[in-house]
Homo-oligomer: A and B are copies of this chain.
Amino acid sequence: MEILVDTGLHGGRHMVVRHSSEATGCEMEFALFVPAGKGPFPCLYYLSGLTCTWENAATKAGAQAYAAQAGLMLVFPDTSPRGDDVADDADFSLGKGAGYYMTATSEPWAPHYAMDTYVTDELPRLVAELAPVDHNRTGITGHSMGGHGALTLAMKNPGQYRSVSAFAPIASLRQVPWGQAALNAYRGDDPESHALYDAAALMESHGWAGPMLVDQGADDPFLDEHLKPHLLAEAAERAGIDLTLRLQPGYDHSYWFVSSFIKDHIDWHMARLR
């Protein structure tokens, strides 16, 4: 691991790390916030949305201010494999910046796209080398594609994540254009598996023992076509999951929205990670 940035932030440390990833077979970067103190610290993973790197949330969400007060570590992964030999697509919703936190089985994506393994398996081991993290107190959240990623990774790995929330998540990859395109590209050879990469479907097949918190801007331009939060509400109802879905009037899909409610989410995770 190469430490690209290590500087003071809210009394703790902001770090940017580059490393050669086993899971994605390329050089990857992620950002980390380590609060002041000796730890071991609870830890919240923040999965970003389409087109993002670690930088968007780390610089714009304002999460570190509240994490510093709570004594919470934050991990900001990238959203896809990177590099000249990694397959890409002209559309922003596929390829680089659009890893969908899944393992691709179809060509040309299979050699590098494995963001689920990267986030759930490889990254926690790297984080543990950098700071005193308590892996028994891990939460996960995310925005848009990353909100969907947080929900799916939590439901598929309930022993790993104690708390899960999301900002404006895609509700069901199989039922929206962005998600259908991603599933058909990355796992087009294996349609039977698509339900395992669909948050609404996982609510019914895998469930979630605790509560879930989802915030959604009511003025989000992607609301009706690509996000469809009602599909989450309906699946949670059928599955008996305690989902709090808040529609926030006047808010869009941007980091103005995320930064406005990140404190609520950190408070909510900390209530479960303390």
Contacts and interface: CB of A to CB of B under 8 A. Distances in A.
Interface in A43-83: 59-60, 62, 64-65
A219 B5 CA distance: 13
Nearest to A65: B62
A260 B67 CA distance: 12
Contact of A259 (B65, B250, B263): B65
- Prevailing SS type, chain A contact patch: mixed
A251 B256 CA distance: 26
Interface string A10-24: 110110000000000
Q: Count this chain's copies in the assembly.
A: 2
Contact of A14 (B8, B10, B62, B256): B256
Nearest to A218: B8
Contact of A256 (B9, B60, B256): B9
A10 B251 CA distance: 10
Contacts of A10: 259-260
B263 A7 contact: no
A101 interface: no
